[in-house]
Amino acid sequence: MSDDLFDKQEFVSYFRDESDELLQQIDADLLKLEESVGEGHADPEIINSLFRALHTVKGSSGMLGFTDVQGLAHKLENLCDLLRKERMPLSESIVDILFGGRDFLTQLIEVAINGGELPLDLSEYTGRLDKSVAVYEETSHVIEGTSSEVQAFEESTDASTSKSTQDMEAFEAEIARLLEAANAKKADEPAPTISTESVVVAATDMIGETPAVQAPATEKLDKATIEKATGQKRTSLNQTIRVDIERLDTLLNLVGELVINRTRISDIATTLERLVSDKALDASSGLVGPLAKDLADSSALLARTTNEIQESIMKVRMVPIGQVFDRFPRLVRDVAKARGKEVQLNISGAETDLDKTIVDEVGEPLMHLLRNCVDHGIENPDVREQRGKPRAGTISLNAYHEGNQIIIEVSDDGGGIDLERVRARGIKQGLIGSDDRLSDRELIELIFTPGFSTAEVISDVSGRGVGMDVVKKNITRLKGVFDVDSISGSGTKFTIKLPLTLAIIQALLVRVVEELYAIPLDSVIESQRVEMNDVRTVHGNEVITLRGQVVPLVRIAEFFELGGARDPEKVMIVIVGLGGRQVGLVVDSFQGEQEIVIKPLSDVVGRIAGISGATILGNGSISLIIDVHSLVSEAYTDGKVARAEFSGV
């Protein structure tokens, strides 16, 4: 019994994954369909793809007993069938109905899996759907008699998924026979009416009762599985399996350990070799020499193998960012439509890979940005025309790799950020004084203040002021950098830089007093030695001038209260950058770069400002990782550094 339950659980989770993909597919198809509205008829390729996706949803949900989902999928399928057979002209309102239906499907699936209330306006929607279908079904009814009934039936078997219409006609005969048998069985019941609703019910009943019909349904699902496994739906022919992300995480942790030990072994080998060559090991040196060499050799081999394992696992965790991008065309379309704007979304670099955990987290910030672009960035078509731009605005979503990072750019050709309005708003909200002189960059930074919004009217899309600060916070949380460029009148460009993975990073090791600290290399701009003569003070705070820019210094030893004396002659400085700001971290010495495996420290000792985690070095000792973001922002919010910066040395 418990086995059955387990199987069902597994099946439900499979269903969830499957339907997620299918719903995205449906979205993509509907968007294409919408483009061909002007031609008055639908591209059969698109309709077939739509039909197949709906059919699979119907079949799977039926098997799990999600009758609401099954029913709606069936109705939508019917609608598609009418389109396919060209009994119904393709129009914008039909596409809207299909979009609406797709959204209800999402909700119904959610309710079916997790429980909860059915959407209230569902019946109103299905009423509308039935009505628009009925108009055309009535006519077809006259022409083809009871075909709508047969149609309903043929679709609950596997006939229509992949077979062409000719094959289907042969099948219809078979269905008719089944229908007859079923009707005979129900002879004592009133004859079924033609209304779609009752046909669905009857169909569902019969699936339950007639093994002959149920069996093909199961087969169908298997076929869907195989279809997915062979990757027919996507362009590649790779064989794929689904793996729980947790299993990969465990594997990655283990590899982390392996990397640590590998480094340790090569340290030992190096030490041993040095001892041998220094003649420090005299006992039976004839044996030790070759042994040391052997150890060094095999440790080198081990290093290579572990590196490869590590890389492979990292690759396994990598997924194309397209997984997130896929849902945006629909989003942009909906928002644009709601705001009466015309927007073209161009996506490039969807195949760019990055870590699965980051892909999962980056969707929401990107969604906010795109909404913002449509809502605030792109002007109304009329305004655009007046400004000599094409009526339809363009939003570009672009992703690419750069070194160890992925860059995601969201740009629009809209009006840009209205700095005067930002200033006015900032004064009104008391964020800045009315006679404060702020640079453009500082004004732009204002939009990251929680609660800030320039929108006069709060729309359902954006303008509640929960946008940009949340975006920035999310990106920072992912150890990313978020930047905005805006040119008034010609557009805004948001740039997100993210690490490819959160687990392993390149770091610069530095010594401060007695301990080694690691500084993530992605935030390091440069490191240098500066004579104390070149260090000046502003309001008692040390700064240096670097290529004309004033860079405040933060002495790590003093920030962390580690003790230790200042060197009176020079400072060793690591310049780190954070969103355009630079800060020089003063350390005692540089200890080289190393790849480190991040271990969270916060669940061990609680959160500590300025420390983001720890890593275990090759010799087994622990090095704390400096959290550049929190350290720099703390240094800035202290006011000291800010004063130094603004005083313009």
Partner 1 sequence: MAEATEQRQQLSGEAIKVVSFRLGSEEYGVDIGQVQEIIRLVAITHVPRAPRFMEGVINLRGQLIPIIDLRTRFGMQRTDSTKQTRIVVTEIGTKKVGIVVDSVSEVLDIPVENVEDAPEMIAGVGTEYIQGVGKMNDRLIIMLDLTMVISESEKSQLAGIDAVLPS
**Residues acting as catalytic residues:** 55, 77, 372
Q: Which is nearer to partner 1, 147 or 591 (CB)?
A: 591
- Strand, coil or helix: 536: strand
Which residues, other chains included, contact 438 with Cβ-Cβ below 8 Å and sequence gap of 6+? 423, 432, 446
- Strand, coil or helix: 282: coil
CB of 366 vs partner 1, minimal distance in Å: 19
Q: Which is nearer to partner 1, 356 or 643 (CB)?
A: 356
Is there a contact between 160 and 168 (Cβ–Cβ < 8 Å)? yes
CB of 25 vs partner 1, minimal distance in Å: 31
Which residues, other chains included, contact 284 with Cβ-Cβ below 8 Å and sequence gap of 6+? none
CB of 267 vs partner 1, minimal distance in Å: 14
Alpha-carbon distance values, 466 to 236, 328, 448, 451 (Å): 40, 20, 9, 6
What is the CB neighbour count within 10 angstroms for residue 252?
A: 19
Distance CA 628, CA 141 (A): 71
Closest residue by Cα to residue 340 from 386, 285, 383, 299? 383
Between helices 211-229 and 196-209, what is the axis angle to 10°? 90
Q: Which helix (H) or strand (E) holds 365?
A: helix 356-372
Q: Which is nearer to partner 1, 381 or 579 (CB)?
A: 579
Give the strand pairing for 589-597 and 504-512.
antiparallel
Closest residue by Cα to residue 523 from 482, 477, 576, 473? 576
List, as one string, the DSSP characters of 369-413.
HHHHIIIIISPPHHHHHHTTS-SSEEEEEEEEEETTEEEEEEEE-
Q: Which is nearer to partner 1, 80 or 611 (CB)?
A: 611
Is there a contact between 356 and 313 (Cβ–Cβ < 8 Å)? no
Q: Which is nearer to partner 1, 408 or 503 (CB)?
A: 503
Q: Which is nearer to partner 1, 33 or 614 (CB)?
A: 614
Distance CA 624, CA 630 (A): 14
Query: What is the dihedral sign for C-alpha 487, 344, 329, 338?
Result: positive
Which residues, other chains included, contact 364 with Cβ-Cβ below 8 Å and sequence gap of 6+? 474
CB of 174 vs partner 1, minimal distance in Å: 55
Between helices 356-372 and 328-338, what is the axis angle to 10°? 20
CB of 354 vs partner 1, minimal distance in Å: 14
Q: Which is nearer to partner 1, 259 or 269 (CB)?
A: 259
Helices assigned H by DSSP within 186-244: 196-209, 211-229
Distance CA 394, CA 260 (A): 48
Which residue shows structure tokens 């699902």? 221
Binding site for partner 1 (CB under 8 A): 256-257, 260, 357, 477, 502-503, 514-515, 560-562, 598-614, 616, 620-624, 627
CB of 574 vs partner 1, minimal distance in Å: 17
CB of 602 vs partner 1, minimal distance in Å: 4
Closest residue by Cα to residue 517 from 577, 586, 606, 567? 586
Q: Which is nearer to partner 1, 552 or 613 (CB)?
A: 613
Is there a contact between 400 and 347 (Cβ–Cβ < 8 Å)? no
CB of 308 vs partner 1, minimal distance in Å: 21
Sheet with 622-626: list strands edge to edge.
Answer: 589-597, 504-512, 515-520, 622-626, 611-616
Q: Which is nearer to partner 1, 186 or 264 (CB)?
A: 264
Which residue shows structure tokens 């916070």? 473
Distance CA 592, CA 602 (A): 26
Q: Which is nearer to partner 1, 254 or 649 (CB)?
A: 254
CB of 477 vs partner 1, minimal distance in Å: 6
CB of 337 vs partner 1, minimal distance in Å: 36
